[in-house]
Structure 1
Amino acid sequence: MHTLTVTTPGPDRSPRRPRLSLPAGSCDSHVHVFGPHSRFPFAPERTFTPEDVPLEDLQSLHSFLGFDRAVIVQSACHGADHSVVLDALERGKGRYRGVALVGPTTTSADIEKWHDAGMRGARIHFAAHLGQPPSRDEIARIVDLIGPFNWHLAVHVTGSALLDFVDRIDEIPLRIIFDHMGRFDISDGREQPERRVLKDLLAGDDVWVKLSGADRISKKTPGMDDAIELARELFKSRPDRCVWGTDFPHPNTHGFMPNDGDLVNTLAQITDSPAELEQLLVTNPTRCFDFSPNEVP
């Protein structure tokens, strides 16, 4: 454990064993790796400081829960230095895919190198706690860099930002994946235009959603019934365009830290059959993140 002042608590390190048995090749489609700081320092310009949660912690959790694959998303706390994710991709030997943070100094040579390592997407933020959102010109530059490699664009929106982003969809000729079900306000009694817009977008061309972050958006913790209901609604509307993730180790979760075994159990409320579970955890991620069916030992 590092000696920095931690602003973001670590995960629940005593996961409960899920009641649900996961199919072979299951993918946790949204996770992060933090440090260890002694080897992979956090960025000086970071907006939060997490505990060390190295790859070994993630691997131990996945072995316990039953996941064979994962999509590891570069965290803003590591900034432009992707060493922590590249190390995980190398050690994963095909089990992992990565999502990068493409910045103003990123070159096409960087993208080519990252692609060969297993990166398959770039993430952009429209979240106040992670700094200034990218401009249209900045997004266009990212699209130009990653387009030749057929990467997806992961879009992290919060609040009503999804509604503002809709006008940009036609400017992005790539697969778009909305993180954490759009992270809009799902309070009881609130009219939710974001809910309708997200479902409309899923009906269009190559737009996907991660059914992750239930703990972030729920107003009814610890059961998270409201967020689970949204996840089920999105999955039933486009079962071929949804993937699922734990969001381990749950950065910037405040007031409620989910147990990852309990999160896995919510899959029984989102899907109705083993076939649907396999589609959500195996078939869809394989296609979405360019996994090879032969890459799971």
Structure 2
Amino acid sequence: MPDYLPFDPQPRAPHPLPPALACDSQFHVFGPPAQYPVRPGAAYTMPTATWQVAQALHRTLGIQRGVIVQATTYGADHTVVLDALAGLNGEGPRNYVACANAVVLSERDDAYLHRLHDAGVRGARFTRAGLGISLTPAEQQRAFDRCREMGWYVKVQPEASGIAEQIAAFEQLDIPVLIDHMGRPDLAKGEADAGLAKLVELLGRGNFWVMLSLSEKTSRTGFPWDDVLPLARRLIDAAPARCVWGSDWPHPVSVKQPPNEGDLMELAYRFAPDAATLHKLLVSNPATFFGFDTP
């Protein structure tokens, strides 16, 4: 198992700070391993990145809301997410919610799912096959049914080659579907990328959303990731009310040094053509999709 690089330990504040109630719509928490054992057969492990560090990061960035996404590292055991939700929300308003890994829908009973829901889990992520968790067609259909029963959304992590070959199983769903990482198209293909064409088509429907994230890995030119701007703006133009932004901190499976989070947030500012659109990406769209109080 390769050693993946840790997050930048000295994040800087973006300039300017984001609008009030800005949301990081995807980040993960890891370890410490003695407290949260890695599941047998996990495809990867990551350096420790606790909810306390995430909380400090968000304070630096001016972020007040967030969505914790369960990593495949822990499979159906969501203890790390449950503890993070309890710690981040404390006794105050629920400013943090979470997304489960879809494997929990086939491996755990209804009582466990209701425990997750009561804690603030609102969706299930179907991860790419290369990360070691996959469902049979029957298990996947049952997972979709359970999401519908729970009132959860479905989240799709694109394959490294993009969504073109995996999206057929999801495109007929009538519940909210969030496509991660801008669909992970090949930027060299531009509009000719089949996954991008399919994503734009899906965004024409009312229930498909897209996460503007993974810019640093999608880019072919590197920092400051200028080649990602046309892609992000294409998706925003297609569905300005159904795009959200996520940091993907602490940037799992990074073989190059992960970026400074202040730089990534300022890239999000560049995605938006105006302040009203930026407010949608960071505040009002995530409030609508994840169920936060609408500002």
| TM norm structure 1 | 0.91
1:143 aligned partner: 144
CA distance in 1 between counterparts of 2:7 and 2:125 reads 23
Amino acid corresponding to residue 99 of structure 2 in structure 1: V
Residue 76 (structure 2) aligned to one of 74, 80, 91: 80
Residue 13 (structure 1) aligned to one of 5, 9, 13: 9
CA distance in 2 between counterparts of 1:210 and 1:169 reads 16
Amino acid corresponding to residue 96 of structure 1 in structure 2: Y
CA distance in 2 between counterparts of 1:23 and 1:170 reads 33
Tell me whether 1:100 sits opposite 2:100 in the alignment: yes
Q: Which runs of 5+ in 1 are unaligned?
A: none
Amino acid corresponding to residue 96 of structure 2 in structure 1: Y
Amino acid corresponding to residue 281 of structure 1 in structure 2: L
CA distance in 1 between counterparts of 2:217 and 2:65 reads 23
Alpha-carbon deviation of 1:68? Answer: 0.2
Tell me whether 1:172 sits opposite 2:168 in the alignment: no
1:216 aligned partner: 217
Amino acid corresponding to residue 108 of structure 1 in structure 2: D
1:215-294 alignment to 2 at 5 Å? 215-293=216-294
Pair 170,14 (structure 1): closer, same or farther in 2 beyond 3 Å: closer
Alpha-carbon deviation of 1:185? Answer: 1.9
Pair 116,61 (structure 1): closer, same or farther in 2 beyond 3 Å: same
Runs of 4+ in 1 over 4 A off after TM superposition: none
Residue 111 (structure 2) aligned to one of 98, 109, 112: 109
Which 10-residue stretch deviates more, 82-91 or 12-21?
12-21
Q: Which runs of 5+ in 2 are unaligned?
A: none
CA distance in 2 between counterparts of 1:72 and 1:249 reads 11
> Do the aligned residues in 1 keep the contact of 2:27 with 2:66 (CA within 8 Å)?
yes
Pair 170,157 (structure 1): closer, same or farther in 2 beyond 3 Å: closer
Aligned length: 289
> Do the aligned residues in 1 keep the contact of 2:78 with 2:100 (CA within 8 Å)?
yes
What percentage of residue pairs aligned between the two structures are identical?
A: 35
> Do the aligned residues in 2 keep the contact of 1:125 with 1:134 (CA within 8 Å)?
no
Alpha-carbon deviation of 1:256? Answer: 4.3
> Do the aligned residues in 1 keep the contact of 2:123 with 2:152 (CA within 8 Å)?
yes
Q: Give the match's secondary structure for 1:267.
A: helix
Tell me whether 1:25 sits opposite 2:27 in the alignment: no
2:156 aligned partner: 155
1:62-77 alignment to 2 at 5 Å? 62-77=58-73
Alpha-carbon deviation of 1:171? Answer: 4.1
Amino acid corresponding to residue 286 of structure 2 in structure 1: P
1:120 aligned partner: 122
Which 10-residue stretch deviates more, 8-17 or 210-219?
8-17
Q: Give the match's secondary structure for 2:107.
A: coil
CA distance in 2 between counterparts of 1:132 and 1:29 reads 22
Which 10-residue stretch deviates more, 181-190 or 220-229?
181-190
